């Protein structure tokens, strides 16, 4: 994404981006046919990635370890011997 947004490269092609996040209705907005092959709309690609990021953050599919609100709640669970020791006490 930083290479895409640096502004130095005039034409961005499909080979320059990761097509994974570009799904659904974003495909026609991001991929633009041109006279010399298909090009990519930088602004549409940026909005697509940010929209996907926000959606996954709200679903709690993306976690931030430093955040109290957005961290993974499963990361604090006990596993292995610590779990068995705590379970035996109950």
| Domain boundaries defined on the chain | 2-89
pLDDT at 51: 92
- Give the 3-state secondary structure of residue 90: coil
How many degrees, rounded to 5, is the angle at CA 49 between CA 45 and CA 55? 145
Confidence (pLDDT) at 2? 67
**How far apart, in Å, are the Cα atoms of 2 and each of 8, 44, 46, 61?**
11, 15, 10, 23
CA distance 58 to 54: 6
Residue 77: pLDDT over 80: yes
For residue 41, give the nearest of 20, 23, 17, 24 by alpha carbon. 17
Q: Could you report the per-residue pLDDT of 4-54, keeping only the tens digit for each?
A: 667 666 677 777 777 788 888 888 888 887 777 778 888 888 899 899 988
Is the model more confident about 72 or about 4? 72
Mean pLDDT, rounded, for 53-58:
86
pLDDT score, position 3? 65
11-15, 25-29, 64-68, 74-78, range with greatest mean pLDDT: 25-29
């Amino acid at each position: 994404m930083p290479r895409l947004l640096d502004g130095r490269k005039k034409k961005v092609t499909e080979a320059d981006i990761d097509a994974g996040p570009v799904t659904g209705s974003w495909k026609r907005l991001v991929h633009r046919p041109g006279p010399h092959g298909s090009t990519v709309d930088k602004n549409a690609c940026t909005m697509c990635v940010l929209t996907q990021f926000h959606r996954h953050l709200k679903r709690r599919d993306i976690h931030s370890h430093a955040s109290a609100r957005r961290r993974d709640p499963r990361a604090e669970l006990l596993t292995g011997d610590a779990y068995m020791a705590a379970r035996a006490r109950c």
